[in-house]
């Protein structure tokens, strides 16, 4: 009786582990897709991207610096997410980047003197509030990914 219960439990756990693994894969995949897509579209129209940052009511003075940093981080993170060794780290980083973007959008929506023309924006068809929800969804994905990630040997993070 008790033996059967234990076996049942391990099967459950194994199922849970598999479920978590699939979720992590999905999370990483979505992030890779998002970052590669976003970074590529920025790269293709790089000048426009800098100009847009330059004209946003915040960050304008720093656009020259921030534009390449964002681009490089997005590409770098999508590569890191491919390697299991760096996955947890990349998930933390992706989470941080998303929080930054989201803070940016919230400041624009609530505190900036105006909302910049989103005509030809980064994710073009999306309005700023939709963008906010979209980002929050991705933040939740990253959190799920981190929490579902199996314990690491060197549990530094």
Partner 1 sequence: MTIKRVIVLGLLAFFSATTTIGLYLLSKDLIQTEGTFIRSFPPHPAEFDKQLDIHYNSYYFAGYDKGILYLGNYTAPLVVTAIDTSLIYSQEYRIQPESSNFTFKSLQLRVNPPYFYLSDGTVPCIYGGKINNWKAGLLMSDLAYFTLLEPVDSTRFVLRSNKSNTGENILGTFDLRKEDKLKLAENLLEKQSDGDGIFDTDGTLLYSKATSKIIYVYHYRNQFVVADKQAKLLYRGHTIDTTTKAQIKVAHIEKGNQLKMYAPPLTVNAHTAICEDLLFIHSTLRGKYDNIKHWSNASTIDVYNVTSGDYVMSFYIPKLKDASLRNFIVTPTQIFVLIENQLMSYTISNTLQKELLKAKRNTALNQ
Query: What residues make contact with partner 1 under the rule CB under 8 A?
Result: 50-51, 54-63, 66, 92, 95-97, 99-100, 103-104, 107, 113-117, 143, 146-147, 149, 151, 155, 157
d(CA 36, CA 24) in angstroms, rounded, equals 18
For partner 1, give the closer residue by CB, 36 or 99. Answer: 99
For partner 1, give the closer residue by CB, 36 or 143. Answer: 143
**Among 115, 101, 114, which residue's Cα sits nearest to residue 38?**
101
For partner 1, give the closer residue by CB, 41 or 96. Answer: 96
d(CA 128, CA 117) in angstroms, rounded, equals 10
- Minimum CB–partner distance for residue 157 and partner 1 (Å): 6
For partner 1, give the closer residue by CB, 54 or 75. Answer: 54
Our separate counts of H helices and E strands in the chain read: 5, 0
- Minimum CB–partner distance for residue 59 and partner 1 (Å): 5
d(CA 96, CA 137) in angstroms, rounded, equals 14
- Minimum CB–partner distance for residue 30 and partner 1 (Å): 18
- Minimum CB–partner distance for residue 110 and partner 1 (Å): 12
Question: Which letter, b or e, does each residue of 74-92 get, where b requires 16 or more Cβ atoms within 10 Å of its Cβ?
Answer: bbebbebbeeeeebbebbe
């Amino acid at each position: 009786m008790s033996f059967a219960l234990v076996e049942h439990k391990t099967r459950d756990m194994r199922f849970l582990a598999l479920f978590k693994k699939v979720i992590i894969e999905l999370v990483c995949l979505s992030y890779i897709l998002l970052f590669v897509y976003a970074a590529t579209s920025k790269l293709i129209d790089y000048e426009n991207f800098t100009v847009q940052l330059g004209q946003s009511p915040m960050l304008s003075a720093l656009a020259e610096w921030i534009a390449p940093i964002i681009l490089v981080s997005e590409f770098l993170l999508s590569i890191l997410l491919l390697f299991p060794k760096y996955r947890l780290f990349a998930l933390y980083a992706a989470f941080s980047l998303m929080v930054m973007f989201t803070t940016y959008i919230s400041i624009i929506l609530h505190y900036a003197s105006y909302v910049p023309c989103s005509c030809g924006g980064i994710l073009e068809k999306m309005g700023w509030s939709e963008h906010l929800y979209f980002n929050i969804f991705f933040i939740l994905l990253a959190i799920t990914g981190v929490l579902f990630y199996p314990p690491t040997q060197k549990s530094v993070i």
